[in-house]
């Protein structure tokens, strides 16, 4: 037997399934008389046996063996078109394009009237962007099948791909001669004329649709939209008004009216039109969701009509109770209005509809996170992990929540579990998880493990400034590799020069190196950039230490230590500094 050819797991296309066993038998039966003139009865019997065996193997997806058996059939009869076709398709799926085209060309040459052989070869030409050969073959097929509508659409698409727009339009015109005026053909020609910037001819295609279907107002809406695009809003508005007289409940005209009002700088009326569209029962839910996606920011931030907007959302969720995204937009609106319990209720409804929506779980977790409700964060991650047990983000959030709840060992386990499920391309998440791991190891005193974790974090994302800051700070506390700590900390200050935490870290590293003058400069910048919500106690303690070692202002150093203590930094070491009114400068 010949060397096995291993096939790609994803087939380029499934055309070989279309050439079914039954159609193949029919083809073979039709060819028996032709073959009889070139095969002996013994050869014919052998050919039939191996041919049907090859089909069986192919249907069982034993593609290597099927190819070998078809090749043996070809040795018996190289003029059998079906064998050439089957081999061509198998070659394609093995990624062997040249032999595939050779075999299929032979099949078409042997049976030029076989539609499927030609279409299979045409598909390969298209895959290879061989437009010249594809167009030549399609034209040959069109001559054989002048009444087949599909060939004209195929020709039009091939001409368009090849950049010959006039020929593409001509193909659609030939198709239209067969079918009469149809929407899909008119729209295709409209697009092609617009591509050529032949606006009048493009518009004429829409006018023909309006003439044929005078009661179909969506064509008229489109005509108005074209006027609007051509900076002719008056004519567009006239059409929209006429449609509203004929069909007041037409949903699409309200969407177009919204665009018109935006064009003429009437944003309030634009929003009114959109609200009318969203309330319209004739507008399908998918279109409404698409509109909501486009206008959600305007809807939720229109402070003058918040009650009206809420009534609209209530109407939509009542009308479409199982539409996940409608609840999602309502939750966004409620969150904006600080109606957090109601927003959570909508998110819970979304999870009842689709419990495997990771983004909904994350949104719910983030709301609890913002409220610093870490018990709820933990409980929510537990529920989410039950339905999404391999989502690393959930374990990551769970690990942080447990850390905040001071359950350090459980936090370590959750964070380590997150690493098991992170994919190679999730670089940012991988960096954050290793950073969290570093913080946990630091907390439990495993400094070497912490520094290894920080290194892995920076390997995944070298620009993670928060990791650089924490890594540099913990190095400074251990008085290890202070030059490396300084380089990392300097980079964070360069990127975020007003970040009080980063400035404090940099000042502390300089202090540890004995550079008190520069340390004083940066710690004072940190103090200037403090925010009320920050935990400032440690920073004021650092300020006191730096002033003490800098000298000349011991009273202010003592004042800073006292302020640090009052802010909740009630460590024994700080208490001793205050009681002793300083510390031994020789043993800092």
Domain annotation covers residue 264: yes
3-state secondary structure 128-194: CCCHHHHHHHHHHHHHHCCCCHHHHHHHHHHHHHCCCHHHHHHHHHHHHHHHCCCHHHHHHHHHHHH
* pLDDT, one tens digit for every residue, the chain (588 residues): 333 222 223 333 334 433 333 344 344 444 444 454 578 898 899 999 999 999 999 999 999 899 999 999 999 999 999 999 999 999 988 889 999 999 999 999 999 999 999 999 999 999 899 999 999 999 999 999 999 999 999 999 999 999 999 999 999 999 999 999 999 999 999 999 989 999 899 999 999 999 999 888 889 999 999 889 888 899 999 999 999 888 888 888 888 898 899 889 988 888 888 888 888 888 788 888 887 877 777 777 777 777 778 888 888 888 889 999 999 989 998 998 899 999 999 999 999 999 999 999 999 999 999 999 999 999 999 999 999 999 999 999 999 999 999 999 999 999 999 999 999 899 999 999 999 999 999 999 999 999 999 999 999 999 999 999 999 999 999 999 999 999 999 999 999 999 999 999 999 999 999 999 999 999 999 999 998 766 789 999 999 999 999 998 899 999 999 999 999 999 999 999 999 999 988 776
Q: Answer yes or no: is 10 within a domain.
A: no
Phi, psi of 339 (to 5 degrees): -90, 70
CB atoms closer than 10 angstroms to residue 19: 20
Q: Is the dihedral of CA 347, 351, 352, 354 positive or negative?
A: positive
Handedness of CA 415, 418, 423, 426 (dihedral sign): negative
Residue 248's domain is classified under what CATH number?
Answer: 1.25.40.10
- Identify the pLDDT of residue 533: 61
Q: What is the pLDDT of residue 2?
A: 35
Asked if residue 334 belongs to a domain, the reply is no
Residue 272 in any domain: the answer is yes
* DSSP line for 6-74: PPPSS-S--HHHHS-HHHHHHHHHHHHHHHHTTS-HHHHHHHHHHHHHHHHHHHTT-HHHHHHHHHHHH
Of the candidates 80, 74, 95, the residue with the CA atom closest to the CA atom of residue 8: 95
Q: What is the pLDDT of residue 414?
A: 97
96 is a domain residue: no
273 in a structural domain: yes
Distance, CA of 240 to CA of 254 (rounded, Å): 8
540 in any annotated domain: no
What is the per-residue pLDDT for 37? 55
278 in Cβ contact with 254 (< 8 Å): no
In a domain, 258, yes or no: yes
DSSP 3-state assignment of 405? coil
Buried b (16+ CB within 10 A) or exposed e, 195-209: eeeeeeebbebbebb
Burial of 106 (0-12, 13-18, 19+ CB in 10 A): buried
Please, which residues have CB within 8 angstroms of residue 559's CB and are 6 or more apart in sequence? 544
Q: How many domains does the chain have?
A: 1
Expressed as residue numbers, the domain containing 230 is 215-283
């Amino acid at each position: 037997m010949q060397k096995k050819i291993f096939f790609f797991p994803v087939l380029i296309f499934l055309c070989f399934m279309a050439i079914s066993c039954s159609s193949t038998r029919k083809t073979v039966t039709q060819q028996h008389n032709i073959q009889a003139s070139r095969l002996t009865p013994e050869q014919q019997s052998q050919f039939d046996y191996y041919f049907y065996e090859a089909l069986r193997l192919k249907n069982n997806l034993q593609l290597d063996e099927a190819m070998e058996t078809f090749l043996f059939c070809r040795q018996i009869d190289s003029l059998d078109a079906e064998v050439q076709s089957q081999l061509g398709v198998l070659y394609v799926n093995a990624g062997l394009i040249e032999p595939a085209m050779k075999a299929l060309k032979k099949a078409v040459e042997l049976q030029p009237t076989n539609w499927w052989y030609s279409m299979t070869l045409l598909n390969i030409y298209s895959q290879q962007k061989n437009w010249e050969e594809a167009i030549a073959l399609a034209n040959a097929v069109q001559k054989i099948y002048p009444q087949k509508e599909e060939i004209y659409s195929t020709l039009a698409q091939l001409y368009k791909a090849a950049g010959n727009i006039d020929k593409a339009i001509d193909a659609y015109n030939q198709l239209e001669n067969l079918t009469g005026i149809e929407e899909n053909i008119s729209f295709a020609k409209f697009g092609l004329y617009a591509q050529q910037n032949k606006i009048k001819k493009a518009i004429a295609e829409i006018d023909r649709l309006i003439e044929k279907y005078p009661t179909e107002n969506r064509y008229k809406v489109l005509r108005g939209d074209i006027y609007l695009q051509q900076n002719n809003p008056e004519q567009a508005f006239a059409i929209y008004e006429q449609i509203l007289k004929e069909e007041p409940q037409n949903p699409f005209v309200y969407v177009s009216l919204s665009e018109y009002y935006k064009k003429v700088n009437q944003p309030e009326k634009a929003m009114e039109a959109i609200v009318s569209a969203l309330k319209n029962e004739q507008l399908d839910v998918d279109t409404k969701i698409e509109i909501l996606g486009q206008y959600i920011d305007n809807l939720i931030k229109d402070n003058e009509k918040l009650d009206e907007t809420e009534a609209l959302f209530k109407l939509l969720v009542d009308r479409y109770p199982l539409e996940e995204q409608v609840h999602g937009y309502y939750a966004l609106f409620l969150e904006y209005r600080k109606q957090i319990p109601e927003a959570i209720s909508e998110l819970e409804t979304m999870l009842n509809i689709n419990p495997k929506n990771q983004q909904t779980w994350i949104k719910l977790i983030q709301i609890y996170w913002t409220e610093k409700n870490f018990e709820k964060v933990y409980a929510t991650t537990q529920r989410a992990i039950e339905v999404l047990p391999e989502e690393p983000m959930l374990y990551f959030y769970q690990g942080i929540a447990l850390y905040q709840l001071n359950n350090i060992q459980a936090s370590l386990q959750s964070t380590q579990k997150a690493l098991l499920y992170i994919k190679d391309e999730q670089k940012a998440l991988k960096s954050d998880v290793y950073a969290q791991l570093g913080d946990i190891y630091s907390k439990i005193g495993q400094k070497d493990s912490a520094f290894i974790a920080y290194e892995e974090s920076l390997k995944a994302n070298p620009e993670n400034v928060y990791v650089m800051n924490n890594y540099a700070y913990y190095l400074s506390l251990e008085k290890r590799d202070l030059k490396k700590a300084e380089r990392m900390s300097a980079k964070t200050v360069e990127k975020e020069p007003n970040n009080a935490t980063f400035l404090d870290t940099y000042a502390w590293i300089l202090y540890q190196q004995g550079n008190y003058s520069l340390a004083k400069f940066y710690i004072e910048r940190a103090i200037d950039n403090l925010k009320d919500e920050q935990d400032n106690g440690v920073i004021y303690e650092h300020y006191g230490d730096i002033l003490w070692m800098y000298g000349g202002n011991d009273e202010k150093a003592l004042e800073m230590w006292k302020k640090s203590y009052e802010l909740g930094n009630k460590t024994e070491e700080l208490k001793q500094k205050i009681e002793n009114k300083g510390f031994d400068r020789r043993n800092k």
